[in-house]
Chains A and B, each alone.
Chain A
Amino acid sequence: MNDSSKLTLYKTIINRVEEITPDVFVLSFSRTEEFSPGQMLAVALQPKDQARLYSIASGNKENDYRILFNIQHQGYLTPRLSKVNVGDELYVSKPFGSFYGTLMADCWIAAGTGIAPFISMMESGLGEQKKLIHGGRAENSFYYAELFESKLKENYIRCSSLQTGEHYYHGRITAFLKQSNELSTKRNYYICGSSEFVVDVRDILIEKGVPYTQIIAEIYF
């Protein structure tokens, strides 16, 4: 485990900036540390800035770290991050956290950019036997859909209140979970998203008989 207690930031260089959908960006930058899929980084534009935490969204064999973020227009960091260029400096901590992926038949549940740790797990070879339930507004909210579609097939469930079609459940994740009769009480459930999302999903799973000890949550704060 890396030492996260001091959140010391190290200089790195931005190698790629991509707006994958309006207001949603993928930032790639050089990495020097090993990490476990599911871990996160503290990220800042200046060494003395207050760093924000982002899940790593890249495989653990890749040369670069990737993070996925959407612009919080009232926020400090993301509007600035969206304007960086290749070659600019970025300050990041060592990877830390213990939202680790496993080789078990886990169920992953994410809302929006909460998909990031599961991208890392998938690209690190932890996608076998997994089921992914992802919630988003429209078709372009299902980031890295091709990756999940090709690997998980019918175990990739997209919930959208705007999008309709054979690949989508029309409605929110919470509605999908409430309706579902196939929630195994034997699986582990990994949830990633806002606190409201995590609390709502966790309550539904517990109501459906899933022991709370099988629910592991990562909350964006």
Chain B
Amino acid sequence: MEKENLFGKTLSELQEIVYELGFQKYVAKQLTDWMYKKRVASFDLMLNLSKSLRLSLQEKYELHFTNYSNVQESVDGTKKYLFPVKKYQFIEAAYIPENERATLCVSSQVGCKMGCLFCMTGKQGFQGNLSSGEILNQIFSLPEFEKLTNVVYMGMGEPFDNLDEVLKSIEILTSDYGLAWSPKRITVSTIGILPGMKKYLENTKAHLAVSMHNPFENERKMMMPIENVYHLPKILDEIRQHDFSGQRRVSFEYILFKGVNDQQRHINELARILNGIKCRINLIRFHPIPETPLESSSHETILQFQNALKRKGIVTTIRASRGEDIFAACGLLSTKEMVKKQNEEY
């Protein structure tokens, strides 16, 4: 029988596990020290645990990290890591160094169910949720782990469609028993799964990013089917219930598509619907994906859009295009790898 990997378990989960094995709950804290602070992946090396506990753990559980299987490096230093999850399943994590910052973009699912028109990950369908351990493995197994300053949940998948595991991973990143990171180093991006977003905002202090891409509901739902379920005004209503006046930030991601969402009326509507929310709009140039009917707005249009929003008093940035020579689009590398492995098999 396959043993369960302990990596990714929260302190309370570990307390239950050791208790069920017949040991005191306090030893779970020693376990988290080894696993998350010392990043040790062998029970044998946990020398302050009793031998009987180590044997009991070994009998029912395992402890391992999974190394990446492929990496692509851009001329600008960005690296895209491919991690195997299950047979034919791969996830991507992008390491993006920039001056004093080093950000890792992690995946929360294998594939995605949301079916956004402009997304490559959606084209490979949905293969499964990542466990908290599989999410954290992208961080802990990163060769540049020690350099990391920030983590963004913006890779493959919709984090709030896998909320429990995402919350567990954030708990381990931010708790004293884990990495003890400030929650301000973490941003979770969503297309707007409302119940999940509400629970995330209530239970963490990390930043939020919302993929908006169009301020008009009727236009947004043609690109993002989720708009048929959870409407943008309700998302904004929920955001208004939370305090973003201090260190916690909310930002809105906005990919600019030529002739689709880059006109003056979009600027006006953005200013109208975001009125009263202290936020930032992050403009993104579109990296075309196969068979898409969409094109990127020109650089000039993006600059004009940014300036127009700034004139309306909205903090607006243009996301620097990083790793263009290796990226094409999030999801492309894992899709290729999945197809390659399937072809090898048959």
Contact = CB atoms under 8 A, between A and B. Distances in A.
Interface residues of A, number: 32
A218 interface: yes
Contacts of B237: 5
A172 to B, nearest CB: 15
A212 B291 CA distance: 12
Interface residues of B, number: 30
Given A5-B238, A199-B115, A40 B229 contact: yes
A212 B223 contact: yes
A19 interface: no
Contacts of A62: none
A21 to B, nearest CB: 25
A196 B114 CA distance: 10
A199 B223 CA distance: 11
Given A5-B194, A212-B222, A212-B223, A195 B126 contact: yes
Contact of B113 (A1, A195, A216): A195
Interface string A209-221: 0011101111111
Nearest to A215: B222
Contact of A98 (B198, B221, B294): B221
Interface stretch (B117-125, B278-286, B307-315): B117-125
A51 B227 CA distance: 19
A199 B122 contact: yes
A192 to B, nearest CB: 10
Nearest to B197: A5
Interface string B143-181: 000000000000000000100000000000000000000
Contacts of A202: 115, 117
Given A202-B117, A206-B291, A1 B222 contact: no
B115 A4 contact: no
Interface string A1-44: 10111110000000000000000000000000000000010000
Contact of A195 (B117, B125, B238): B125
Contacts of B115: 195, 198-199, 202, 217, 219
Contact of A97 (B113, B122, B126, B229): B229
B112 interface: yes
A203 interface: yes
Contact of B114 (A4, A6, A207, A219): A219
A98 B225 contact: no
B112 A4 contact: no
Contacts of A97: 228-229
Given A5-B230, A5-B238, A194-B125, 15 more contacts: A5-B198, A5-B234, A5-B237, A6-B198, A51-B195, A98-B228, A99-B228, A199-B123, A199-B125, A202-B115, A202-B117, A206-B293, A212-B294, A219-B113, A219-B226
